[in-house]
Amino acid sequence: MKIMTCPINGPRVISEFAYGGEIRPMPDPAMATDDQWADYVFNRTGAPGVKKEWWCHTPSNTWFVAERDTERDIIQRTYLYAGDV
């Protein structure tokens, strides 16, 4: 089983974590056109590569950011969200 490092609780097995999707900039709901909003809501890029994702350590309900290489299945870095995305 894979191991992921929670920024608060350290390395734990992957079954303790939940995936929260790729972190993508949200367009301003008040200003966005329907097309822009629909693109944000429905379209995802499936191309492999290094992605920034939301992950949650479920027993402690800790949300954090993981940088994951989906092509090689390697978790490169995890850190707490600091409002920089």
Name the site residues for another protein (rule: CB under 8 A): 1-3, 18, 20, 26, 40-42, 54, 56, 58, 61, 63, 73, 81, 83
d(CA 63, CA 70): 20
Q: What angle do CA 83, 11, 49 make, to 5 degrees?
A: 60
Nearer to another protein, 42 or 45 (CB): 42
Name the residue nearer to another protein (CB basis): 47 or 82.
Answer: 82
| Shortest Å, Cβ 6 to another protein | 13
Q: Are strands 17-22 and 50-57 parallel, antiparallel or unpaired?
A: antiparallel
